[in-house]
Amino acid sequence: MCTSSAGTITMGKVAVPEMKRYHYDESLATGCVAAGGTLGILIPPSVGFILYAILTEQSIGKLFIAGILPGLLLTALFILLIGISAWAKPDIAQLEQRQASNRS
């Protein structure tokens, strides 16, 4: 099993039930966890980078530095896409209901 699958499974066991408890749509909850799981291989320190560097005799530090920008870019794009999706279909995130319950 690769590290991104293990991270996705672990976060899925924790995050998806919490998101369901706050009435997030199941497709949004599972999509966020699945997309976020792919970031585990990019954002340092990544076991995948270490293994790749050892096998190909490359610099681990250079691979870590090379993974920072794509990892941050993907993170920003995921946040933007989730925000646009929640704005276009408010029922998938139910922001108004959650904010109203936090005020009382």
pTM value > 0.85:
no
Q: What is the mean pLDDT of each run of 10 residues along the chain (104 residues)?
A: 67 86 88 82 75 90 86 92 89 65 55
pLDDT on residue 1: 43
Burial of 37-49, coded b for 16+ CB within 10 Å and e otherwise, reads bebbbbbeebeeb
pLDDT on residue 13: 86
Q: What are phi and psi of 16, to 5 degrees?
A: -65, -45
Residue 94: left (phi > 0), alpha (psi -120 to 50), or beta? Answer: left
